[in-house]
Structures are given as structure tokens and as C-alpha cells.
Amino acid sequence: MKARVFVTLKNDVLDPQGKAIGHALNGLGFGQVDEVRQGKLIELEIAGSDADKAKVAIKEMCEKLLANTVIEKYEIELKP
Amino acid sequence: MKAAVIVFPASNCDRDAKTALTEMTGKSPAMIWHQDSELPDVDLVVIPGGFSYGDYLRCGAMASQSPVMRAVKAHADMGGAVLGICNGFQVLTESHLLPGALMRNAGLKFVCKPVTLRVEETQSAFTSGYDNGQSVMFPVAHGEGNYYADDATLDRLEGEGRVVFRYTANPNGSARDIAGILSEKRNVLGMMPHPERVVDGATGGTDGRKLFQSLIETLS
């Protein structure tokens, strides 16, 4: 089973990299870009086929290591 | 005072810390490899600057999971002194020995220069030798030194006198100009600037000597 974990800064945490990307896009003529937030994508290959069990384990991985929940939030996407 | 310096793969201020401690205490600190799960009997543990584990995932994230950090946590829980400098501060927040987190500098650039700090708190083993409000010059060298914590945590840190050093000209966007903070029990200090680099006048200043002198007087 494949899983993708998206880790991004929480909404109320300033994202200077996202801001810089936004400025660069505006500079390239993409004036329609208002705000950019950037983050990480972590792909996991998980043994077993129990999606619920995998999700519980990945949530624990996020809390313990993959995300720093002081500043970051995460989303988990499972692909059977 | 007996001291130990933790050495992670890609620590690079471990020898600076060793040199400073040797100069100040007259004896060489124990150098403890990250895979060791026990510390020798020491009064002070220093987590040095550098790029532990290549800053993979987040600065300090991998180091916080290393066997030696369990021993450092136990040392801190027993009231032992811990000083985390630069990457060491990042390791301490990732290990939850200190609140908050260190984010990418607001200006997105690595900042490497001497900065002026104000000593905000002298009620600690680390700063008892300084005067309250005193200005000191320590160098900074970091890309992720932008201290973040939610407002309630920041209020609490300030209310409890746990903000030890503040920048007089904020180099990285840190919340409330914070450069260094204490743990609740005041035995763990994390700071981005480098006191160990200002111990020998030949290499740029001596303002850091008092930090080590304070520790020696308090812990010996």
C-alpha cells in the first residue's frame, strides 16, 4: 500500500518561502497568484492491506517524527 | 564542573565547545557519540551547533530520536544542566525539552555575523555572572533561527522570566526578538547565538566567558 503524507506550515504560521515563491510567480507575470504556501510531500510504502490500521500508524508517525506539530499540520492520503 | 559534549554526525561546533570548556574549566569534556545511550557523571551537557544528520526532515528532528537524547532527557529530568547552542537549540525544541520551534529565517538567508544581545535574565545557572540588561556580543550562524511559539507560550516564557537573551536588532524574524530561552525548571538553556565562540579574545571577543564562568560557579 502506498501512502502520501503532506506536511505544511499551519495557517497562522508565516511561510517566508511561500511568500518568496509568490513574489517570483507574480514577477513572471502570473498576477492571479494571491498567496502561496509550500511544504513537503513524503511517500511511504506500507506493508499490509488494512487501510484503517495503516492510517492509525501513519498518524502516529506524523505526530512522532514526520511533522513538528508546533508549527506544522499534515494530511494523509492512502492509495491501495 | 564536569561537562560532556554530544557529537552527532555533522555536528561542527563540537570542537569549539570542547575548546571553550577546556579553557574555562581546565579539563577536557567527555565527547559523547550520538549512539551512546548513557552519559558519564557530569554536571553539564552541551549540545553543540552544526547540521546534525544533515538537517534531514527538519533541523534537529533526527537527532531528537537518537539514543543519546534519551540519556540527555533523563539528565535534564533529574535537574542536570543542559546547554543547547544553535543546532543544539533546535534539537532541544524537537526533543520537547524546550517549547516552540525554530523556523527558516524570515529573510530566507543564512545569517552569519556578530550580533548584540541583551541579557534579560540573570536568575539562572547560565547567566548569574552577567548584569541584568547588559549588552553582549555573540556571533550567530544559522539558516533556521526564527523562534516561533504561540502567543500563550510566549506570554508564559516572558511572565516566568525564561527569556534569557534577546536580540537588539532581530536578524532572523524571531518572535519577540528571542535569542535564548530556559526550560520550566531553568536547568535547560537553548540559544541560537554561540557563546563558545567568544571565549578567546584572539578569535573575536570574550563575552561568552561569563556564561561558562556562571555555570562553573553554580554547578561546581
In chain A, count H helices and then E strands.
2, 3
Task: Please give the tally of structural domains in chain B.
Answer: 1
Q: If you count residue pairs, one on A and one on B, with CB atoms under 8 Å apart, how many are there?
A: 31
Residue B37 confidence (pLDDT): 96
Q: Please list every residue in chain A whose beta carbon sits closer than 8 Å to the beta carbon of residue B94.
A: 68
Q: Please list every residue in chain A whose beta carbon sits closer than 8 Å to the beta carbon of residue B149.
A: 70
Q: Please, what sign has the CA dihedral across residues A61, A66, A68, A74?
A: negative
Q: How far apart are CA B189 and CA B126, in angstroms?
A: 8
Q: Is B196 a catalytic residue?
A: yes
Q: Please list every residue in chain A whose beta carbon sits closer than 8 Å to the beta carbon of residue B65.
A: 65
Q: How far apart are CA A5 and CA B195, in angstroms?
A: 39
In this model, does residue A24 exceed pLDDT 80? Answer: yes
Is B122 near chain A, with CB under 8 Å?
A: no
B62: exposed, middle or buried (C-beta count within 10 Å: 0-12, 13-18, 19+)?
Answer: buried
Is B135 near chain A, with CB under 8 Å?
A: no
Q: Please, what sign has the CA dihedral across residues B104, B195, B122, B183?
A: positive
In this model, does residue A80 exceed pLDDT 80? Answer: no
In this model, does residue A54 exceed pLDDT 90? Answer: yes
pLDDT tens for the 220 residues of chain B, in order: 999 999 999 999 999 999 999 999 999 999 999 999 999 999 999 999 999 999 999 999 999 999 999 999 999 999 999 999 999 999 999 999 999 999 999 999 999 999 999 999 999 999 999 999 999 999 999 999 999 999 999 999 999 999 999 999 999 999 999 999 999 999 999 999 999 999 999 988 999 999 999 999 999 8
The reply to whether residue A70 touches residue B101, judged by beta carbons under 8 angstroms, is yes
Minimal Cβ distance to B94: which of A13, A16, A68: A68
The reply to whether residue B101 touches residue A14, judged by beta carbons under 8 angstroms, is no
Q: How far apart are CA B31 and CA B38, in angstroms?
A: 12
Residue B204 confidence (pLDDT): 85
Is B157 near chain A, with CB under 8 Å?
A: no
How many CA atoms within 13 Å lie on the side-chain side of A62? 26
Given B34, B75, B142, B194, the catalytic residue: B194
The reply to whether residue A16 touches residue B93, judged by beta carbons under 8 angstroms, is no
Nearest residue of A to residue B66, measured between CA atoms:
A65
Instruction: Report the CATH superfamily, name and number, of domain A2-79.
Output: Phosphoribosylformylglycinamidine synthase subunit PurS (3.30.1280.10)
Domain with B64 in it? 3-219
- Average pLDDT, rounded, for chain A: 95
Q: Please list every residue in chain B whose beta carbon sits closer than 8 Å to the beta carbon of residue A60.
A: none
Nearest residue of B to residue A68, measured between CA atoms:
B94
A48: exposed, middle or buried (C-beta count within 10 Å: 0-12, 13-18, 19+)?
Answer: exposed
Residue B144 confidence (pLDDT): 97
Reported pTM: 0.95
Residue B202 confidence (pLDDT): 93
Q: Is the ipTM of this structure higher than 0.85?
A: yes
CATH number at residue B33: 3.40.50.880
What value does the mean pLDDT take over residues A55-80? 96
Residue B220 confidence (pLDDT): 83
**Residue tagged 540573570 (cell numbers):** B122
Q: How far apart are CA B114 and CA B129, in angstroms?
A: 21
Is B19 near chain A, with CB under 8 Å?
A: no
